[in-house]
Chains A and B, each alone.
Chain A
Amino acid sequence: MNLSDIRNRLAGLEGRAYWRSLEELADTPAFNEYLHREFPANATEFTDPAGRRQFLKLMGASLALAGVSACTRQPEEKLVPYVQQPENVVPGRPLFFATAMPIGGRGMPLLAENHMGRPTKLEGNPDHPASLGATDVLAQASVLTLYDPDRSRTILYRGEVKTWASFTSALPLALGPLRTTGGAGLRLLTEPISSPSLLDQIDTLLAAFPQAKWHQWDPVYGAVQGGAPAAEALYRFDRADVVVTLDADVLTFGPAAVRYTKDFSSRRRIGTPQDELNRLYAIEPVATLTGANADHRLAVKAREVYGIAAALASAVGLSGVTGASASGEAAKFVAAVADDLKAHRGTSVVVAGDTQPAAVHAIARAINDALGNTGATVTYAAPLVASPLDGGASLAELVKDMQAGSVDVLLIIGSNPVFTAPADLDFKSALDKVKTRIHLGLYYDETAEQCHWHVPEAHYLESWGDVRAFDGTVSLIQPLIAPLYDGRAAIEVIASANGVGGQSTMDLVKAYWTRAFSGQTKTAWTLHDRQGRAFPTVDQFWRHALHDGFVASTSWLAGTAAAPATPAGTLPTAAPATASATGIEIIFRPDPYLLDGRNANNGWLQELPRPLSKVTWDNVAYISANTADRYHVPIWRDGNGEQPLMEIKYQGRSVTLPVWVLPGTADDVVVVILGGGREKSGRVGTGVGHNVFGLRTSNALWFDGGADLTPTGKGYYISSTQNHFLMEGRHPVRVVDAEEYRRTPAVVAELGREVPKPEDSLYPVHEYKGHRWGMAIDLNACTGCGTCIVACVAENNIAVVGKMQVAKTREMHWLRVDTYFEGDPASPSGVYHQPVPCQQCENAPCEVVCPVAATSHSDEGLNDMVYNRCVGTRYCSNNCPYKVRRFNFFLYSDFSTPELWAQRNPDVTIRSRGVMEKCTYCVQRINLARIDAKTEERPIRDGEIKTACEQVCPADAIVFGDLNDPASRVVKLKAQQRNYGLLEDLGTRPRTSYLAKVKNPNPALG
């Protein structure tokens, strides 16, 4: 079986054919064996040679002991009240505080759930224009980093434990001699910063040391290739009928993606067949979720994007564009897109990606200007962050100075350049020439090791601060807990250098805003509340801003403030140059969750399946099926086998990486994922994956030609969940075209098999008198981002199991996102995502097979799982057609690390070994709302109960509610003709149902 055999087979199929993985598509005997085993290989075998006799002995003993264990006495528990109970605390009930997470210089606005001083879960801030109640994966997982026992705990000077006092007295001593030269030997290296109070401190520092230089390095959010764009774009996807992306992953990359997904999905969640959908065209080299959600997608090399953008500009009628190049399929694509854009003047938008050079951004802006989109669907503003924008150039300049020996004191704030700096700069050896090196970071990492001073950084949930969201909104950051490991905020370190180090972070931040209130700061702020009223006193402003989490008058999206003006765009005069325009193209992309490896010690993120490939616990190189075919490396794994290892050479450097054939990747491109191979991370992250920074050079931070691939003939095991819990081709996703759905709405129902009637069952139909909970998941809105999974992990105390357990299909996630591809493996015509939690079947197959009644139906239709009754027969899991039950084969929950105890949700049991578990519809939230409603003597309001996955979803794809309430949102959704149940032909009557995907293809592209 090879690629052409598969293509022949696909051509012979009728209707739409979906496949989850290339292995499923290839349907090899080894894969079939893997699939048809009751449990995956080695999942159930005894590895030690126990005979029948020993088995009986053990069984007898365990039975007897199980009986005895029932009459043990409970261990003694302590009750520890407060000495003086804080205001507003009701023991047993959480409080919510508004705060924000800074990432890449932007803020992700949050509401933090606090159980008697312990932050346990983060939600989006529903009032904040950058969140509207949703968050991204990184924010959800950041609460685990807060409690990470491997975070740095002590100030170190040359490896010796020191105090903060000794650091604050040593800092002026180091800076003192520099004053005579105006600070010529002082360098500051930070990540992108938008925090007004921190910028103010940095301004003060740079004013005291006018010769000092400020550098920026963030390999993910602060790295540009071919110059930084002159203006920052702010999109309004809710107003756009036609969206064209040029290598832009707007639906997942960066904190703006949450609001962008909200806006984009609002145009996909149709209510009736007649509703208009938006249309998304994606032109990109890497298979991203934005491309997966596109109605039309063109896979091209990253270096060809400029040519296509130029061709598109010419086609929409711009003159004077140089370097246009689109031929064959691309030319046809460009022509169709241009026609669509011209038909939607003022209601379309062209988006250029952060990894593309400034020239591409300039063309996108010129097209938007010409079509009248600027001001309607996109606003161009001056950059939000004040730090140097071109991180690569900035770092290169710093390294040059360090090599020349002209740097005396280097202050590194938060960045880890020893691990992440471009390979050609040789940052580590240059760093050796700096006389005093000071590092502030969450971890004692690769950079901390090379520095004289290391100061543990306070997590954002531990310190005061401020940050601006992507739309300019100022958010205040307030601590939810005192620093667990004696961490210090960046503002404290800079303030110490400024000689005001004795103050608390709150005083420093508040002092800035007190001055801002009376107009004494460099930036002039207009501080109004949401109704546009000025605050009478600074105290009222402060309390109001803390309560809301943001200052409404600073938002450009909410319409109360105008984005800072930026000069008009100009067309580029020439195409951007790449070092090499031939050969295999190498593309660098951050891992979507670990980024550059900074989140490597976060087990939730390591185990979260990456979009599309579902790889966990590793970083790989993505290639297309055609590229793999050309190099004669296996396109699919044999059964559950290994991935081929290939040597990737670029500019005389090489790295050996496992390659993964990812449908949708452009041909002759190798996409290298950053973030693996951390050398000094912690017990979770050290040594996971491969370090690929050895290939990344300062002139090609995102892509370049001239790479070389060599198969090594060796293999490497990757734990991917792609083939776990397969549905074996039983039409789990239903996809229709908008036109078809408009003509015959019944088409969705016709896609499935016949559904038995409830009365046909042997069991009597049950009447629900009270509530009847149910869920609807809109596949047309879902972008496949996976935030729901990590939100579920955080809410329900779900354990991390590790790479080898994932390999045995033992991941514990209650919710999985299945990805289905359609069409040719090299260039799939469609990619569809389906979140699958427990379907809470009415006729649940799991319930009838449980010998101890550990899973049974509640009077509100929930399929309850009772952990304390479960004896671990796993019959339920075996009988579940959806494969949504998870079994604790070992003691996966960490009961032994005290730091992690504080993170757990006190309202959910922590499961032990030998117990089955599954999605509960967040029954703890249902019970809380029910009790509150009952004591307030009112019915539960629709939308009052939000499951963790629903609450976090940036696409609003998941809706939970009462099926007995005819006015509820969920009932209205289920009444749509797009509604269908997963495998409902089995008669399980799932109460979670799906709304079919409706694509909106351009007829001109056939």
Chain B
Amino acid sequence: MSQIFPRSANAIAKSSLAVVPVVVLLLGWVVYTLMYSSWATKQNEVVEQPIQFSHAHHAGGEGFDCRYCHTSVEQSAFAGIPPTKTCMNCHSQIWTNAPMLEPVRASLRDNKPLEWTRVNDLPDFVYFSHKIHIHQGVGCATCHGRVDKMPLMVQAAPLLMGWCLDCHRAPEKYLRPRDEVFNMAYEAPANQLELGRQLKAEYHVASVEHLTSCSVCHR
């Protein structure tokens, strides 16, 4: 009876001892990289919107306060998306015939809401509250980035749980005085940790033990 395997099979068998773990590790690395990649998190991704609304122009150039449009940010979990009426407060006076703004005018005319695509979208099992974060001195730009420099809105942070916990485990790294919360251009001072600890005490920010309890965000 002749041999089933040729002699060269030995080499294959031996080299597979080394190749198989490498392939497995490689696959693991691919999955891991994908998981944290901006492809999966949608970080810095520009999304198609009904109108190419520019935060850079409105918040940056014109200097609108965030709360002019996002009215419920201090009262509710949800910051609020402005109703068409808010856009028309100005655009019934200026750029009244701009073709770019036709969807806004159509919305008011037909009483049909604009449908925006969500940019900063947390999973549905996460219950984030703008109200408490604003109150405790977390700046808008801390999570949303320099919105005033974004011609088109992108998600500035990965919004992964590890990213949330980075602050929940050490809020002093990011806290700022309450009156600077809506200031886009705020720069953290050199003594941020010292200031952060001071603000943490002053604002009665909850303990790390509380901030890392599951039910604070998940329910």
Contacts and interface: CB of A to CB of B under 8 A. Distances in A.
Interface of A: 67-68, 70-74, 76-85, 90-93, 769-770, 856-860, 862, 864, 866-868, 907-909, 920, 923-924, 927, 931, 934-935, 937
A501 to B, nearest CB: 27
Nearest to B37: A71
A81 B107 CA distance: 11
Contact of A923 (B40, B114, B215): B215
Nearest to B123: A74
A924 to B, nearest CB: 5
Contacts of A923: 215, 219
B124 A81 contact: no
Contacts of B35: 70-71
Given A77-B121, A859-B210, A83 B76 contact: no
Interface stretch (B9-17, B77-85, B163-171): B77-85
Interface in B43-95: 47, 72, 74-78, 80-85
A925 B210 CA distance: 16
Nearest to B81: A81
Interface core residue of B108, B115, B127 (most chain A CB under 10 Å): B127
B34 A909 contact: no
Given A83-B85, A92-B78, 4 more contacts: A90-B76, A91-B80, A92-B76, A934-B136
Given A91-B76, A770-B207, A858 B40 contact: no
A71 B118 contact: no
Q: Considering the complex of A and B, which 7 residue pairs feature the smallest CB-CB distances, nearest first?
A: A92-B78, A858-B213, A92-B76, A82-B83, A81-B81, A864-B214, A71-B35
A78 B84 contact: no
Contact of A79 (B40, B81, B209, B213): B81
B59 to A, nearest CB: 17
Contacts of B124: 909
B111 interface: yes
5 contacts: A67-B31, A79-B116, A867-B218, A920-B215, A935-B74
Contact of B118 (A77, A82, A866): A77
A396 to B, nearest CB: 53
B31 A907 contact: no
B82 A858 contact: no
B216 A93 contact: no
B31 A84 contact: no
A591 to B, nearest CB: 34
Contacts of A77: 117-118, 121
Contact of B219 (A79, A859, A907, A937): A907
Contact of A770 (B47, B136, B206): B206
A65 to B, nearest CB: 12
Nearest to B34: A71
B144 interface: no
Given A92-B72, A931-B129, A931-B132, A862 B121 contact: no
Contact of B132 (A91, A908, A934): A934
Contact of B218 (A74, A76, A864): A864
Contacts of A78: 115-118
A866 B213 CA distance: 10
Contacts of A90: 72, 75-76, 80
B112 A83 contact: yes
Nearest to A858: B213
A913 to B, nearest CB: 14
A115 to B, nearest CB: 11
A260 B31 CA distance: 63
A327 B78 CA distance: 70
Given A864-B213, A864-B215, A935 B132 contact: yes
Contacts of A74: 42, 121, 123
A71 B31 contact: yes
A79 B204 CA distance: 33
A93 B76 contact: yes
B219 A927 contact: yes
B31 A83 contact: no
A85 B127 contact: no
Contacts of A71: 31, 34-35, 37, 40
B219 A924 contact: yes
B84 A84 contact: yes
A894 to B, nearest CB: 16
A937 B136 CA distance: 11
Contacts of B112: 83
Contacts of A91: 72, 76, 78, 80-81
B214 A856 contact: yes
B186 interface: no
Nearest to B45: A73
B29 interface: no
B5 interface: no
A927 B82 CA distance: 26
Contact of B83 (A85, A859, A864): A85
A868 to B, nearest CB: 5
A81 B132 contact: no
B151 interface: no
B135 A934 contact: yes
B162 to A, nearest CB: 13
Given A73-B39, A93-B72, A85 B85 contact: yes
A80 B113 contact: yes
Contacts of B74: 935
A78 B82 CA distance: 14
